Structure 1
Amino acid sequence: MRRALALVTCAALALAGCASLPTSSAPTTFDVSARDGSGIQFSAEGPVDGSDASTLVTDFLRACAAGTQDDYATARLFLTASSARDWQPETEILVYDTDTAPSVNAGAEVASQTEVNVSVLGVASIDASGVLTRSNGSTVSRTFTLVREDGQWRIDAPENMILVSRAALTASYSLANLYFPTTDGTDLVADPRWYPSRRLASHLLAGLIAGPRPSLASAVSNAIPAGATLPSHGVEVADGVANVELTGPMPSSEGAHASLAWQLTRTLKQAADVAQLNVTLSGEALDTETIPPSPQYSLDTLVGAGASGVGIVSSSAMAPRASATDAWAPTVSPVDSSLVAWTGADGVYAEKDGTSVAFLPGQAPLGPSVDRYGWVWGPATSASWLSVGGGADGAFSVGVESDSAGDIRAVRISPDGARALIIRGSTPSAWLGVVERGLSGRPLAVRSLEQVALDGSVIDASWTSSTGIVLAVRAGTGEADQLVTMPLGGLPSSVVLPIHVTSMSAGASSASVVIVGTDEAGKAQVLLRSGALWQNAPVSLTSARYAG
């Protein structure tokens, strides 16, 4: 018998849109589709006596979806006794498309044994450390071997993995960030991970102790002392207070104290049940009240270019910053609006308070990027080198890994300065890399590039925060351009754009977007997003971009 997956949600959702609950029938279970982040929890029952092989595996998948609620105790009931002891389900999580049900097919029974094949449309995988890798949307298949145990089908020696839908993932898991100090200690860099929402604070602290992913090693440090350990009971949370008991040496300097408190507070307060921290290291209390203020980035500063030059655009006017009338794709520093940069006829120009601070020769049709340290990232000088300027030494080159991915078309630096979003290739694709820096934040190299999995070619891209990106994507000839929003380490969502786009830039959220392109009649347009609507720029512009 097919049993519906039981779903539990708050009464407010059930009451939405109706005046009273129906009383004419008895309550029954039912299936619903859950939107990401809806807060729905999944539950499941153990195996039913007499289940055939396909039904047992189907019910096992439901129990896996609910596994974080009972540490997979119910899911283990579907396994043979020896397999139940050895199975490590969270070694890998394969995430499949919610809109396509798994295909479950059983083979013939031979000597009290059979195989059941499960095929799904995969969208991502998550490893044991919580790092998500997006897939290309191809079919993923797994085979389960079933044997008779006490007359009932049971799964024998399954892989150390689970299959869950995207809806089940976002209902039971949280995308949260481990935060690690930059090498100069001036900001915290996010390392996104997927952890079970249940006891999230404990998972986050264990992640901090394990340290950042290898690709971030050159850009961050870890304020948690080497060798620190977490007690077996994890982090206990009561009345909004997380009691963090670490075993390890107390940092020796006040700066190290502050960095540790900052790192722990920023990370653990992502858990919904944590409002305050009490932290001890080997019984010695750590002050978590005196922590550095987080840097503020003005990403919603809109810079326009037109016949009157380059300026900061407000709701009704443009405050001039530079007189260049041939400027294209201007931008501004995320921390200092007096530093502007733009593409000119023969290269990238930058001025601060009206004084030239950089000229980077070459072609940069999508415009430069200005990082929080004041460095201006301009044209590519080859498939593996970028031109950077803004200091007393003039222009210099910064190496970029993976030159086999094609020529570099544009670079966008994250607000915290730790990551580079690079558009490259003849069919443009987006790549995320880590920025290695020296003294005074001087960029040295962009390393550890990973491609952003997208359906289509990338027109332009932008950061909405140090952990969020927005991309304009073209799926194919004749198809409407798409605005794709994606958190680092997360899954994308998209909306259709109203014009044929040539460039795009976002402010502090995907609600603040400017696009430049042409409408169906071929007329040039500069449009600003206002909620779900698009409006013409308030002043006459040929192009515009937000800060960064």
Structure 2
Amino acid sequence: MRRRPALLLAVCLVLAGCASLPTSSAPAPFDVPARDGAGVQFSAEGPADGSDAETLVGDFLLACAAGPQDDYATARLFLTSASARAWQPDTEILVYDTDTAPAISVGAEANSSVDVTVSVLGVASIDASGVLTRVEVGAVSRSFSLVRENGQWRINAPDNLVLMSRAAFTALYSLVNLYFPTTEGTDLVADPRWFPSRRLASHLLAGLVAGPRQSLTAVASNAIPAGTTLPSHGVEVADGVARVELNAVMPASEGAKARLSWELTRTLTQAGDVSQVGVTLSGETLEAHGVPPAPPYSLDTLVGAGPQGVGIVSDSGVRSLSGATDATNPTASPVDSALVAWSGTDGVYAQRGDNTVAFLPGQAPLGPSVDRYGWVWGPASASSVSVGGDSEGAFGVGVEAESAGDIHAVRISPDGVRALIIRGSDASAWVGVVERGAGGRPQAVHSLERITVERAAVIDASWTTSTGVALVLRESGSEEDHLVTMPLGGLPSSVSLPIRVSSMSAGSSSASVVITGVDSGGERQVLVRSGALWQSAPQGLTSARFAG
């Protein structure tokens, strides 16, 4: 009877590899002690004597679940000696759907070699820097070439990539943010990455030293000095304190020291076993004072519109701010609820108190967006968005990828760094970077990346945090709309909605959502989600949106 590897919780298939192995001895399995915050622990055994080709590959897929926690030492036992040294599994991870088991097929043996094919449903790809790219679910096949070594089947020269089930991946890896100061140094920009949960602080520090992804270089800077290198032991954590040693020159100014401390502390304290960070640069202790607090955002301010005008919605009713009776899809600034904006019959209006601060001619049927700098984003074409908020009046902000189609709506993230854009005849969703000048004045939206959804149109979209999005999707022929939420760089979750939606907005989480649409009887509804329940908005409101 064949032996199966001992495995906890999840399964992964690895087709690629990592760092080189020592040559003084053959790789062997070992146990990894768990630290607090290390997450789920996996263990596995090596190949059984006399395994046939199908069994060997199947057991290899199981053994790979322990890969990120034992540096793939057990998985390498399934490879030829030369392949075990050369294999680099951290180059790429292909994530497949957990609901479907890998299909393994074996070809005809010839000259003591055989090819084995593994087929799965692919979901996403993660590169060596931890950046995830979603793909439409579809069949993915990878082939293994097996040869006889010392009378046993072994995998020869596997590709430098790992194929891993979604369950295993999310159990072994953490979605975290690398935080980099904005170019003006007043906030931190989040750069989402996936890193192994084991030794997470060391992975985070290595990511910071490597710097932000290319698309963020226009809006973010790295407080870690150029040319910095890391010690081989990474980050040592004891009693909740991460000891960071950098081979770098100490920044000259107090501001630069503060930004460096801010970047390191905000990033590394995401590790469950880190609550404080101590930093030395080339043996000199970093003493940073005056680390700025992150700007506060009030995303749960709900603004409603109806025959009585525009106002702030609360449990006690609606506090009127404007008597505009033709308003739809109103919103407010994420930092100043006195600044509200809405779509009217002839354009977008913005008002603070009794004063009009912007009028943007044109149509914005899904409503405007107000960013934290006070700029109002309104009507758009295929190549630009009309923006206003100062004495100069409306001006155009260029948006790349004109070929993607006309823009239906623009939503600016709470930190002002990114734009969520709905565009095109297929109503697709895109995320781009907002480049700004003095005073936060928007200049361009670039580096657009499409959000992959499964054959569905995007009805509306919203931010839940500076890196979290919510979308209402409608599949062709379906009678139900769905609310899909996901962090940037993450994987989606979905729930069905009780009405046919025409517009949607989210507050500070996916549990705070407002939708406008019609029910099965054709009755117009404005519903507010509180936790898992949907409740009617105050009577008389015809639409509502959260701030942002």
Q: Normalization by structure 1: what TM-score?
A: 0.93
Does residue 454 in structure 1 map to residue 453 in structure 2? yes
Residues 295, 526 of structure 1: alpha-carbon distance in 2 compared, 3 angstrom cutoff: same
Q: Alpha carbons of 1:407 and 1:38: their partners in 2 closer, same or farther (altered >3 Å)? A: farther
Query: 1:173 maps to which residue?
Result: 173
Shift of 1:292: 1.2
Distance in 2 (alpha carbons) for counterparts of 1:519 and 1:538: 17
Deviation at 1:479, TM superposition (A): 2.8
1:268 maps to which residue? 268
Distance 1:538 1:137, change over 3 A: same
Aligned to 2:8: 7
Distance across 2 between alignment mates of 1:162 and 1:317: 54
User: Structure 2: which amino acid aligns with 1:232?
Assistant: S
- Residue 241 of structure 1 corresponds to 241
Q: C-alpha distance in 1, partners of 2:125/2:389?
A: 41
Q: 1:198 is paired with a residue of what secondary structure?
A: coil
Going from structure 1 to structure 2, the CA distance change for 1:202 and 1:87 (only over 3 Å counts) comes to same
Aligned 8 A contact 1:42 1:168 in 2:
no
Distance (whole Å) between structure 1 residues aligned to residue 284 and residue 378 of structure 2 = 49
- In structure 1, the residue matched to 2:384 is 385
Counterpart CA distance in 1 for 2:376 and 2:401 is 22
Measure, in 1, the Cα distance between the counterparts of 2:65 and 2:161.
12
Cα pair 2:114 2:145 within 8 Å, conserved: yes
Q: Is the 8 A contact 1:181 1:259 kept in 2?
A: yes
Asked if the contact 1:42/1:171 (under 8 Å) is kept, the reply is no
Give the superposition deviation at 1:438: 0.8
| Counterparts of 2:525 and 2:230, CA distance in 1 | 56
Q: Name the residue aligned to 2:544.
A: 544
1:295 deviation in Å? 1.1
Amino acid at match of 2:346: D
What secondary structure is seen at the aligned counterpart in 1 of 2:137? coil
1:120-164 C-alpha deviation (Å, 9 max, x unpaired): 000000000000000100111101100000000000000001111
The answer to whether the aligner puts 1:435 opposite 2:434 as a matched pair is: yes
Return the letter of the residue paired with 1:412. Answer: R
Aligned pairs for 1:39-78 within 5 A: 39-78=39-78
* Cα separation, 1, equivalents of 2:476 and 2:286: 56
Residue 198 of structure 1 corresponds to which residue in structure 2? 198
- Aligned-partner residue type, residue 303 of structure 2: V
Question: Are 1:474 and 1:482, in contact at CA under 8 Å, matched by a contact in 2?
Answer: yes
What is the rounded CA distance, in whole Å, between the counterparts of 1:138 and 1:8 in structure 2?
24
Matches of 2:460 and 2:41, distance apart in 1: 38
CA drift at 1:493: 0.1
Structure 1: gaps of 5 or more residues: 10-36
DSSP-derived class of the 1:169 partner: helix
C-alpha contact 2:305 2:327 (8 A) present in aligned 1: yes
Structure 1 CA distance, aligned partners of 2:196 and 2:78? 22
The whole-number CA distance in structure 2 between the counterparts of 1:306 and 1:527 is 14
Q: Give how far 1:413 is off.
A: 0.4
The AA in structure 2 aligned to 1:419 is R
Kept in 1, the 8 Å contact 2:254–2:289? The answer is no
- Residue correspondence of structure 1 range 332-411 to structure 2 within 5 A: 332-380=332-380, 382-411=381-410
The 2-side partners of 1:453 and 1:527 are apart by: 27
Cα-Cα RMSD: 1.4
Within a 5 Å distance, the mapping from 1:24-173 to structure 2 comes to: 39-173=39-173
Distance across 1 between alignment mates of 2:183 and 2:222:
9
Query: By how many angstroms is 1:6 displaced?
Result: 2.1
In structure 2, the residue matched to 1:26 is none
Q: Report if aligned partners of 2:5, 2:59 keep a CA contact under 8 Å in 1.
A: no
Look up the SS of the partner of 2:386 in the other structure. Answer: strand
Find the aligned partners of 1:120 and 1:443 in 2 and give their Cα distance. Answer: 44
Secondary structure (helix, strand or coil) at the match of 1:292 reads coil
C-alpha distance in structure 2 between counterparts of 1:42 and 1:405, whole Å: 44
Alpha-carbon distance between aligned partners in 2 of 1:434 and 1:453, rounded to the nearest angstrom: 18
Give, in whole Å, the separation in 2 of the partners of 1:256 and 1:46.
Answer: 50
Cα pair 1:316 1:538 within 8 Å, conserved: no
* Deviation of the 1:342 alpha carbon: 0.3
- Equivalent residues of 1:181, 1:187 under 8 A apart: yes
**Residues 468-507 of structure 1, C-alpha deviations (whole Å, 9 max, x = no match):** 1011110122330000010010000000000000000000
Which sits farther off after the overlay, 472-481 or 508-517? 472-481
- Name the CA distance, whole Å, in 2 between partners of 1:147 and 1:288: 58
Instruction: Measure the CA separation in 2 of the matches of 1:341 and 1:546.
Output: 11
Q: Do the aligned residues in 1 keep the contact of 2:481 with 2:500 (CA within 8 Å)? A: yes
Q: Which stretch of structure 1 is more off in the superposition, 492-501 or 313-322?
A: 313-322
Alignment partners' CA distance in 2, 1:399 and 1:472: 26
| Cα distance, 1:38–1:210 mapped onto 2, change above 3 Å | closer
Superposed counterparts of 1:194-233, under 5 Å? 194-233=194-233
Post-superposition offset of 1:107: 0.5
Do 1:504 and 1:515's aligned partners in 2 also have CA atoms closer than 8 Å?
yes
The answer to whether the 8 A contact 1:64-1:163 is kept is no
Distance (Å, rounded) in 2 between the aligned partners of 1:182 and 1:278? 23
Q: How many residues get paired?
A: 520
Counterpart of 2:541 in structure 1: which amino acid? L
1:491 corresponds in structure 2 to: 491
Check the 8 A contact 2:117/2:142 in 1, yes or no: yes
Paired with 1:539 and 1:55, the residues of 2 have a C-alpha distance of 64
Assess if the C-alpha contact under 8 Å between 2:5 and 2:62 holds in 1. Answer: no
Distance 1:461 1:119 in 2: 34
Whether the 8 Å CA contact 2:310–2:323 is kept in 1: the answer is yes
Shift of 1:316: 2.4
1:161-181 Cα shifts (integer Å, max 9, x gaps): 111100100111111100011
The one-letter code sitting in structure 1 at the alignment partner of 2:401 is S
State the secondary structure of the residue aligned to 1:415.
coil
Deviation digits for residues 508-544 of structure 1, max 9, x if unmatched? 0000000000000000000000211111013420000
Q: What code does the residue aligned with 1:234 have?
A: G
Shift, 1:290, TM fit? 4.3
Distance 1:378 1:538 in 2: 26
Question: Would the alpha carbon gap of residues 289 and 167 (structure 1) be closer, same or farther in structure 2, given more than 3 Å must change?
Answer: farther
User: Percent identity at matched positions?
Assistant: 72
- Whether the 8 Å CA contact 1:94–1:124 is kept in 2: the answer is yes
Instruction: Letter of the 2:402 partner, please give it.
Output: D
SS in structure 2 opposite 1:324?
coil
Partner of 2:33: none
Which residue number corresponds to residue 425 of structure 2? Answer: 426
Alignment correspondent of 2:519: 519
Structure 2 CA distance for partners of 1:4 and 1:152, relative to 1, 3 Å:
closer
C-alpha contact (below 8 Å) 2:5/2:45 kept by paired residues: no
| More displaced 10-residue stretch of structure 1: 406-415 or 290-299 | 290-299
Structure 2 counterpart SS, 1:57: helix
